[in-house]
């Protein structure tokens, strides 16, 4: 939509036209200033913790477990060198054979949330599914952090009863 | 030819006085938009609806998602 708008503006005589390709979702994802009737609704980007433990496919489960513990978390994200999410290790996987390779035990293709998703919706879905933590990515799929259910619920409660 | 830019370039251009145009439908704009943006829905984009914009200053357009 915005490329067409940019070309249309140029055809109308505007000399210097730019298309913010990543668009509103990207702006909101990074918690930048916004306005409108929903502007005060907390997003995941505002409550996600950035200090998520990560590992590579070829790391050992023992290494991944150590990193998760050091981060005070019970999850470890499996990522590429560019931090694109490939998989996830939760409690059960982190307690498996410490000499095994991460790739052998990880949960591939985990559900992720975008930073601009609403904290309230995430809290409800995590509650429905009994999930305590979910990975959070930017609109282009790069790992940004981890969302803990208690953080999402706290943010949701904060706007439930003004 | 319009140039595609990222978030950092948007912020820099806004600091330098660029104009920001949200081309989403009005209801979506009213629900949420980037601070300081004006709304001219794509379907209404013409000489009349853009008359308030300066043609000698940069204009940045955006919609909702990667598209």
Which residues face A88 on adjacent strands? A77, A107
Distance in angstroms (rounded) separating the CA atoms of residues A46 and B7: 17
Q: Rounded mean pLDDT of A56-60?
A: 97
CB-based burial of residue A121 (10 Å sphere; 0-12 exposed, 13-18 middle, 19+ buried)? Answer: middle
CATH number at residue A52: 3.10.580.10
ipTM above 0.90?
Answer: yes
Flag the least confident range among A37-41, A49-53, A64-68: A37-41
In a domain, A162, yes or no: no
- Express each pLDDT in A97-148 by its tens digit: 999 999 999 999 998 988 888 899 999 999 999 988 999 988 777 899 999 9
Is the overall model pTM greater than 0.90, yes or no?
A: no
Distance in angstroms (rounded) separating the CA atoms of residues A10 and B58: 11
* pLDDT score recorded for residue A161: 39
In a domain, A45, yes or no: yes
Name the residue among A13, A14, A37 with its Cβ closest to that of B31: A37
Interface contact flag, A36 B32, Cβ < 8 Å? yes
Distance in angstroms (rounded) separating the CA atoms of residues A127 and A122: 8
In a domain, A74, yes or no: yes
Structural domain of residue A67, as residue ranges?
3-156
In a domain, A161, yes or no: no
Which residue, among A22, B54, B5, A13, has the nearest Cα to B38 in the 3D structure?
Answer: B54
B48 and chain A: CB distance < 8 Å anywhere? no
In a domain, A104, yes or no: yes
Provide the number of CB pairs (under 8 Å) joining chain A to chain B.
Answer: 144
Flag the least confident range among A4-18, A58-72, A131-145, B14-28: A131-145
């Amino acid at each position: 939509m915005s490329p067409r708008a940019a070309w249309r503006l140029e055809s109308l005589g505007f000399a210097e036209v730019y298309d913010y390709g990543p668009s509103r979702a990207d702006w909101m994802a990074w918690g930048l200033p916004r306005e409108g009737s929903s502007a005060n609704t907390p997003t995941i980007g505002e409550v996600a913790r950035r200090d998520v433990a990560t590992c590579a496919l070829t790391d050992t489960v023992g290494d991944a477990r150590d990193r998760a513990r050091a981060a005070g978390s019970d999850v470890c994200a499996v990522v590429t060198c560019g931090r694109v999410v490939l998989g996830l290790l939760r409690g059960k996987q982190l307690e498996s054979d410490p000499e095994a390779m991460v790739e052998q035990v990880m949960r591939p293709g985990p559900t992720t949330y975008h930073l601009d998703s609403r904290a309230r919706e995430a809290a409800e879905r995590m509650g429905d599914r009994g999930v305590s933590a979910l990975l959070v990515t930017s609109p282009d799929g790069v790992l940004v952090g981890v969302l803990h259910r208690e953080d999402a619920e706290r943010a949701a409660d904060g706007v439930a009863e003004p | 030819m319009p140039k595609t830019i990222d978030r950092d370039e948007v912020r820099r251009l806004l600091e330098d006085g660029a104009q920001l145009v949200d081309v989403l439908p009005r209801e979506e704009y009213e629900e949420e938009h980037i601070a300081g943006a004006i709304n001219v829905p794509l379907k209404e984009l013409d000489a009349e609806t853009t008359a308030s914009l300066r043609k000698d200053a940069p204009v940045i357009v955006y919609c909702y998602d990667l598209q």
